[in-house]
Structure 1
Amino acid sequence: MKSLNIPKGVRRVLFKTLNTDRQLMHKTQFHSDFTAFMEDGAKWLVENTNIKLVGLDYLSVAAYVDAAPVHYAFLRNREIIPLEGLNLDDIQPGRYSLHCLPLKMVGADACPTRCILI
């Protein structure tokens, strides 16, 4: 994570990983070997950045084998919002303005969101 050199002041980061290259978001079968955060990577972001939102290009920001600890690391101390299931096919690395439009769902702890990059 350190080698990514995330600039100071960045609050939202979307990670385009091998999941996009493998086109996992376009497949109907679930793949448990997707690229995602392990607990140590999540903790590093919490401890070394001011990020408030982390997005990833598959169904979870957390690796299949480390799901609960990753979510706890993001949500426990800083409440970093996980943004999951992103289609980043045609998105090039760079700075964007991110707008997330969640559906209003009463009593839910998560909901579908339409995300727009400008």
Structure 2
Amino acid sequence: MQKLWDISPPVHPGTPVFPGDTPYQQQWSATIAPGCPVNVSAITLSPHVGAHADAPLHYDERGAAMGDVSLDAFLGPCRVVHAIDCGPLIEWQHIAHAVNATLPQRVLVRTYATAPAEWDAGLTAYAPATIERLADLGVLLVGIDTASIDPADSKTLESHQVIRRRNLRVLENLVLDDVPEGDYELIALPLKLTTADASPVRAVLRAL
């Protein structure tokens, strides 16, 4: 069997969320007991908890909701690039070593040596110009192992606006701690949430 890397963080009540966002919560609607053969729970969470895909609706008031987004970008060859501890922004020089004529249409960048268990207000984000250059090379999807492709305190979301203008897709909150640089098959399908601004994904990489 081909090797799989699970690049999704665990989701539970302690999973860090963006300040002000809805954390994961779970209540039991039914539990196995005499007269009840099943456990059934109800969950509440932001669609941005854990590994997730942003829909255009997240950063564009007229953008498509998650259920209307094509799945093509979330499935196919990808390249994992290491830019560990590169600073506040992923600049072109941090990933240029891994860019060549065979660059796949999906690029995931690792910035943490070890993914944090707590909210990181100083998270690394993409420089907008880096996303522009990746789009120029035919990239359809960018991913990152932090909670946002923009700085946590950004009010203009410049990298999200590049994504909007260039019609790219984005994955955030990936866990790339154990993934060597190189090429893989990405499988990270969002749920068909017809009115949502994002969707959780179970993101995995498969050896080519």
Q: Which range, TM-score by smaller chain?
A: 0.7 to 0.9
Could you list the runs of 5+ residues in structure 2 that have no partner in the other structure? 1-91
Residue number in structure 1 paired with 2:104: 10
Distance 1:62 1:72, change over 3 A: same
Distance 1:115 1:91, change over 3 A: same
1:111 to 190, 199, 202: 199
| Contact 1:100–1:113 (Cα < 8 Å) also in 2 | yes
Equivalent AA in structure 1 for residue 158 of structure 2 = P
2:177 equivalent to 1:98: no
2:137 equivalent to 1:49: yes
| Contact 2:144–2:172 (Cα < 8 Å) also in 1 | yes
Aligned length: 111
CA positional deviation for 1:90: 0.9
The whole-number CA distance in structure 2 between the counterparts of 1:41 and 1:54 is 10
Cα deviations by residue, 1:13-63 (Å, 9 ceiling, x for unpaired): 11011x2x1422xx23x22211111222222222x3100010100111222
Residue number in structure 2 paired with 1:58: 146
2:121 equivalent to 1:32: yes
Residue number in structure 1 paired with 2:115: 23
| Contact 1:101–1:115 (Cα < 8 Å) also in 2 | yes
Query: Equivalent residue of 1:114, what SS?
Result: coil
Q: Which has the higher strand share?
A: 2
| Contact 1:38–1:63 (Cα < 8 Å) also in 2 | no
The whole-number CA distance in structure 2 between the counterparts of 1:112 and 1:50 is 25
Give me the TM-score of the superposition, normalised by structure 2.
0.49
Give me the TM-score of the superposition, normalised by structure 1.
0.81
The alignment's C-alpha RMSD in Å is: 1.9
| Contact 1:60–1:84 (Cα < 8 Å) also in 2 | yes
Q: Which has the higher helix share?
A: 1
Cα deviations by residue, 1:56-108 (Å, 9 ceiling, x for unpaired): 001112222446111011121x2111100101111111110111121221201
2:179 equivalent to 1:85: no
The whole-number CA distance in structure 1 between the counterparts of 2:124 and 2:202 is 22
